[in-house]
């Protein structure tokens, strides 16, 4: 049986780092962010729906969607964020289910669904176990400011648009504390995978 694991975290919590560690163990990853970019490529059904909903001002010269422009619109307007999600999420879920099905057919020991908004989007029914990558608020803020060259206010508003990591801790089956070194993170991951698999 293929175990379906949901991997989640918050912005700048180190989820990509852990995701890469899982890949190194030859466990396939179904990446919701990557899929959410693919389903809005020019010509895809979701692309046309987004263009209709938000107008052509959100397009780049090459007709692709300008993610920065669209992002700044939906960060300031909850209704528009909801509208965008109602277009993108179903398309992403469909593709994720197809990739999960492929892993099961290939009899993989596990498949990991990397879903940033696993709890917020109520997608836990897609997985058997949930794994949260946790960092404390100061570490998260510092890493985000360093990684994206954000000012403090900008970084905070991005962090505060998500469910706080300490609330997600209550919801997760297992938590990796990613405040320490890469080695400490890897050890925690290996321990959890051994237990589950």
SS3 content of the chain, % helix, strand, coil (to 5): 60, 15, 30
Please indicate if the annotation marks 157 as binding a ligand. Answer: no
Contact 96, 126 (CB under 8 A): yes
Q: Which two tokens stand for residue 191?
A: 């321990």
Is 53 annotated to bind a ligand? Reply is no
- Could you tell me which residues are beta bridge partners of residue 156? none
Say if residue 12 carries a ligand binding annotation. Answer: yes
Q: How far is CA 192 from each of CA 123, 132, 185, rounded to the nearest angstrom?
A: 21, 11, 11
Q: State how beta strands 3-8 and 129-134 pair.
A: parallel
Please indicate if the annotation marks 16 as binding a ligand: yes
**Do the annotations mark residue 15 as ligand-binding?**
yes
Give the separation between CA 149 and CA 12, rounded to whole angstroms.
12
Whether 14 has a binding-site annotation, put simply, is: yes
**Which residues is 113 bridged to in the sheet?**
6, 30
**Please, which residues bridge with residue 175 across strands?**
132
Count CB neighbours of 182 within 10 A: 12
Could you tell me the end-to-end alpha-carbon distance of the chain, in angstroms, rounded to an integer?
10
Evaluate whether 113 touches 96 at the Cβ level (below 8 Å): yes
**Binding site feature residues for ATP:** 12-17
- Binding-site residues sit at 12-17
């Amino acid at each position: 049986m293929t175990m379906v694991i949901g991997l989640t975290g918050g912005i700048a919590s180190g989820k990509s780092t852990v995701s890469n560690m899982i890949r190194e163990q030859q466990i396939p990853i179904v990446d919701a962010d990557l899929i959410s970019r693919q389903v809005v490529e020019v010509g895809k059904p979701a692309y046309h729906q987004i263009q209709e909903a938000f107008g052509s001002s959100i397009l780049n010269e090459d007709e692709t969607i300008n993610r920065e422009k669209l992002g700044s619109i939906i960060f300031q307007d909850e209704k528009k964020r909801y509208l965008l999600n109602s277009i993108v999420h179903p398309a992403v879920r469909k593709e994720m289910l197809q990739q999960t099905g492929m892993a099961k057919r290939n009899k993989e020991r596990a498949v990991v669904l990397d879903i940033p908004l696993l709890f917020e989007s109520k997608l836990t029914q897609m997985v058997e176990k949930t794994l949260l990558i946790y960092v404390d608020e100061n570490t998260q803020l510092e890493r985000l400011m360093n990684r994206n060259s954000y000012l403090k206010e900008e970084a905070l508003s991005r962090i505060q648009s998500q469910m706080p990591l300490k609330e997600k801790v209550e919801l997760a089956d297992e938590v990796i504390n990613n405040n320490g070194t890469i080695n400490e993170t890897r050890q925690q991951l290996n321990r959890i995978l051994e237990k589950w698999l």
